[in-house]
Chains A and B, each alone.
Chain A
Amino acid sequence: MRNILTLLIGVVFGTGIALSGMANPAKVLNFFDIAGTWDPSLAFVMGGALIVTFIGYRFVLKRDHPVYEPAFDIPTKKTLDARLLTGAGIFGIGWGIAGFCPGGALPALGTANPKVILFVAALIAGMLGTRLLMTRMMISRHDLRQAD
């Protein structure tokens, strides 16, 4: 039951993405093109998602623990740092170039559209490459500290 419901959550998310237009780069990019062919639809996607999630979380997070897990797994960090803002900035540049964000592209992969496959392959390469670089940098910083 737990696994069926978890799968269904993915189905609901993917259906929402398909219906909202988030899987369509032409539409997503037009949201940002206020100076050109502006399409404000994306504001309704964000608005609908935020209202439901904001209200739903109020109730859910009052519980002691989730239905099937011993504890909620929620980021606790509150402070801003350069890494967060640099990452978000780079993500936006990529989103503006390609028109896909990860949540828009992953459900679209279900259509086997070659452009979506190409984007997701590049996305995964970027994720794995960056994680590798970050791990290497942390190791080299650690080595430097030990050399002191």
Chain B
Amino acid sequence: METTFTPIASAVGGSLIGLAAVSLMLLRGKIMGATGILAGALRPASSTDWTWRALVLVGMLCGPWIYFAGAGQLPEIVVPSSNVLLVIGGVLVGAGVTLGSGCTSGHGVCGMARLSPRSFAATATFMLTTGVTVYVTRHLFGV
């Protein structure tokens, strides 16, 4: 399925993601990684450790509604995968980010921005396996 190329909206959106990452480091000294924040919220080390994570997560949920206020509609969410594949994908993502200690935001943005060798290696690895998976499912199996 075709999607529209949106360089400006995507670059502005990316910059806001960066602004959030820099602000969280400046104010709380934490990495803006979705995996780490969620994992810690599921099993917090202390109540103060839980509070900042819960606040960031609740704030995130408001994002689509801020978009709504500006654009007059919610952001488009089109899921090409079946529910079964969505669950398989979800479990694999959960397992992978737990083993690999991070995802696109933690490794791909925050880790690479602080020039962490582990984050460069992790990002290169998951970008490669995502690309191979998309090629295999779409062009070899025709999902």
Contact = CB atoms under 8 A, between A and B. Distances in A.
A87 to B, nearest CB: 2
A94 B18 contact: no
Contacts of A85: 100, 121-122, 125
Interface residues of A, number: 113
Given A17-B13, A20-B17, A119 B77 contact: no
Contact of A115 (B12, B63, B79, B95): B79
Nearest to B88: A97
A18 B90 contact: no
Interface string B1-36: 111111111111111111111111111111111110
A36 to B, nearest CB: 6
A48 B13 contact: yes
Interface residues of chain A: helix, strand, loop or mixed (majority): helix
A127 B43 CA distance: 11
Interface residues of B, number: 111
Q: Which one of B32, B51, B89 has the greatest number of beta carbons of chain A within 10 Å?
A: B89
Contacts of A124: 38, 42, 94
Contacts of A74: 29, 31, 114
Given A7-B58, A16-B19, A53-B22, A48 B14 contact: yes
Given A20-B9, A45-B10, A45-B11, A78 B116 contact: yes
Contacts of B67: 15, 18-19
Interface string A91-126: 111111111111110111111010110111111111
Nearest to B31: A74
Interface residues of chain B: helix, strand, loop or mixed (majority): helix
B86 to A, nearest CB: 5
B6 A14 contact: no
Q: Which one of B33, B111, B133 has the greatest number of beta carbons of chain A within 10 Å?
A: B133
Contact of B89 (A22, A52, A63, A99): A99
B104 A103 contact: yes
19 contacts: A9-B24, A10-B56, A13-B32, A16-B16, A19-B12, A21-B6, A26-B3, A41-B7, A46-B109, A53-B18, A66-B26, A75-B111, A90-B100, A95-B93, A98-B92, A102-B93, A115-B86, A118-B90, A127-B39
Given A85-B125, A131-B98, 18 more contacts: A14-B61, A18-B67, A25-B78, A36-B138, A49-B109, A66-B26, A66-B28, A78-B118, A95-B130, A95-B133, A96-B130, A102-B93, A102-B105, A111-B77, A113-B77, A122-B88, A127-B39, A127-B94
